[in-house]
Chain A
Amino acid sequence: MEMVSRLQAAQYGESFFHSLDPRVKMGLALIFSLIGPLIENQLMLGILTITAMSYLLLAGQRRVLLFIGAFFVISMVMYLFIEALILSRPPKFMEYLTLTLTMLPIMCIGLLLGMTTSIEKLVTALGKLGMPTGMRYAVMVAMRYVAMLGREMRHVVQAMKVRGVMVGWKDPFTHPVSTMRIILIPLLIRSFKVADRMGAAAELRGLSAPDNELQLAELSMKSEDWIFLVTNLALVGGLWLISNSVM
């Protein structure tokens, strides 16, 4: 078990959220995804959003928060553009705000799970939740590939500059099909090849052995895991009840 412990000491970070059992974070994602959308009051949704964002901040994921902020600013600008200029109707700010506040907490918790959980811990946790070995290793390969995708994308963009294939910021809107063809097809074909090689490597490392007892990380639900899960269930449930009584 000592070696398993060393393996799981992934050093992705040292925060409380990094040490939480991945099953707690999955449970949290489930709670936020199922109960969150039932809340209709914007104040309650705001509290839920601030809570989820503060979790990301406490986990040291400032960059992720900035990314989320940028994503929603851009999506709001696009919404306004489409409503006002293309559909020629007044934008419905309150509806847009409600939709945003409903989505944000789910997005934050999903990213919290992804950014604070090592691949080994996640795969072991999925095994404990009954996922078959083959599927778990598909998750493992996929997570590893997602980590590499950014680098692959940078290679494509660099190669476009080198080959003189220029895609300006307007092109995705004015020539969406040709832009997609230029950027996505090399990336897609490369993805198939990489996935194929990673699958072969996984087989050769013995990672796909039919062993449901497989433990790449040592996991056990501790008291703080239970307390955190129950507290969040109570919080989200409470916000839903208050929202219902107010509405």
Chain B
Amino acid sequence: MAHIKLRDVGFRFGSRTINSLDSISLDVQHGECVLLAGRSGSGKSTLLHVLSGLVPEYYQGDLQGCIRIGKDEQRWRDVPLWKKSISVGTVFQEPRHQFFSARVEQELLLSRVRHKHEHEESERQLNVLLNNLGLQKMRHRLLDTLSSGEQQRVAIGTAMSLAPKILVLDEPSANLSADGIVILLQFLQKEKAKGTTIVIAEHRFSWMRELVDQLVVLDKGSIVYKGNKDKLDDLVFCEEFGLRFQVSVKLEEGVNSKKSSCRNGSAPVFTLDQVGFRYGKKQDWLLRHLDGKFYSGEVVAITGKNGCGKTTLLSLLFGLHKSGEGMITFTNPESVKALALQHPDLQLFASTVVEEISADKGAQEEWLTRFNLEQVRDCHPLTLSGGEMQRLVLAAAFARLRESFESTLLLDEPTSGMDGHQLECLVSEIKKLCEQGATVVMATHDPDLLQATGAAILEIG
């Protein structure tokens, strides 16, 4: 008997006229790992909400069809939401919005205390989670002091603290460094071996190829493919449904060979000379002894473990902070710089989408077209979807540089949550910019972006 059985499931959010999910039929066996893929807005997260039970109890709307989870013959939708967490562990994007305690250990114990589990069993489960997720050293740390990747692992631990038989994950690798991804993969492999059914919605799936048993591709709320994962190797299929084409090159490989391709003896655009930074005199150094030369037309990726100071280095390059020691020297101090940070919804200040782009009227329209935003040009920026906001912030940053030579574009995790088509567009724009002589520096964990841009790697931490 299938562990998860969906028959003709459809869902429409309360105020909308179009179904977010349409005629979804799916069987997932015990201990199976299912990858939900598809372009942004295809219905992956909504389907995860159906499985977790948030639809239709929390996110209300019209749910049709039959949902059965486990052996229980009682219809899943009739089980109270708070009881569903015993069967299904769920992790969303942005882990820090899922915490209620101050410290790691408390957070991992919270659900078990809530559900009145035995102390010894809870203690054992706590230690298993801490060990398997690489959290043992940070068990007493404040959650707010953890990096986003470490928080992601804690969120997965809290979802598994009740040892549910189903684990539902939405973009679990979005915040993780290469090391974090290895830990996550090992954890999921152990859970799968124990018989836990895993459903993952993910754009970056190169890291989980070994784990996946069934591929489900969604488009406009319907399943367009379910079956063997080998379909991920089909370039035409991936392009048709906005999937990222399978990247087989590992993070550490490939890019170093491209490191000095565009230097040709010219002077660097800027240099780092023994740069160090800490957030306060009593704090430890976050960055120290950083050296580097950045050339016109070059794409450089700053990589490193979660919390190693990648975003801080971008802030130093932009001038948001002053380095505590050493020097950052721009050959042309007047050169234009633009920075696109994470959290796009906090970076939009104009009344319409078109006003966010500081350029003349013709250029504004061109940037909107290049980032596929022309349909929403007169909307308020904060009413856009997450993907659209992200593209708007990027468009505004690109537009700020215009076509000035020796300009510098700084991007902080620009591709989290981006589907294959959007990634392709961004890579194309980055390449155009570099051809015009700009330098692009990105803080990223995304191997697809590194591969596609052929970025040189500056590893810190």
Contact = CB atoms under 8 A, between A and B. Distances in A.
A156 B158 CA distance: 29
Interface range on chain A (Cβ under 8 Å from partner): 35 or more
21 contacts: A3-B123, A6-B106, A10-B103, A119-B100, A119-B102, A148-B97, A159-B343, A159-B347, A164-B358, A164-B400, A189-B345, A190-B345, A193-B345, A199-B58, A201-B92, A203-B57, A203-B81, A205-B111, A206-B111, A206-B162, A207-B100
Given A161-B320, A163-B396, A7 B109 contact: yes
Contacts of A6: 105-106, 109
Contacts of A241: none
Interface stretch (B113-121, B130-138, B419-427): B113-121
B349 A140 contact: no
A203 B346 contact: no
Given A200-B54, A203-B54, A162 B114 contact: no
Given A120-B110, A163-B396, A189-B345, 6 more contacts: A162-B339, A201-B97, A202-B100, A204-B52, A206-B86, A209-B80
A58 interface: no
Interface string B113-152: 1110001001100000000000000001000100000000
Contacts of B53: 204
A14 to B, nearest CB: 14
Contacts of A182: 349
B314 to A, nearest CB: 10
Contact of B83 (A164, A198, A206): A206
A3 B112 contact: yes
B348 interface: yes
Given A164-B358, A204-B84, A216 B113 contact: yes
Contacts of B115: 206
Given A190-B346, A216-B110, A159 B382 contact: no
Contact of B341 (A12, A144, A158, A204): A158
Contacts of B57: 203
Interface in B48-62: 52-54, 57-59
Interface residues of B, number: 56
Chain B at the A interface: SS class: helix
B137 to A, nearest CB: 17
A55 B114 CA distance: 33
Contacts of A95: none
Contacts of A214: 114
A162 B341 contact: yes
A119 B101 contact: yes
B96 A148 contact: yes
Identify the interface centre among B82, B98, B101, B341: most chain A CB within 10 Å of its CB: B82
B94 interface: yes
Contact of B343 (A4, A155, A200, A216): A155
B20 interface: no
B85 interface: yes
Contacts of B83: 206, 209
A102 interface: no
Contacts of B162: 206
B100 A140 contact: yes
B102 A118 contact: yes
Given A165-B349, A200-B54, A4 B81 contact: no
A205 B158 contact: yes
Contacts of A204: 52-54, 81, 84-85, 90
A10 B140 CA distance: 10
A204 B83 CA distance: 8
A10 B110 CA distance: 12
Nearest to A120: B101
Contacts of A207: 82, 100, 110, 114
A11 B349 contact: no
B99 interface: yes
A161 B320 CA distance: 8
Contacts of A140: 100
Interface in B298-348: 315, 318, 320, 339-341, 343, 345-348
Given A118-B102, A200-B92, A201-B92, A216 B349 contact: no
Contact of A120 (B59, B106, B112, B318): B106
A3 B341 contact: no
Contacts of B140: 11
A207 B107 CA distance: 12
A160 interface: yes
A148 B102 CA distance: 11
A159 B346 contact: yes
Closest 8 CB pairs of A and B: A201-B98, A159-B347, A209-B82, A197-B97, A206-B82, A3-B119, A155-B346, A206-B85
A147 interface: yes
Interface in A1-54: 2-4, 6-7, 10-12
Given A162-B339, A206-B115, A144 B320 contact: no
Nearest to B318: A162
A151 B94 CA distance: 14
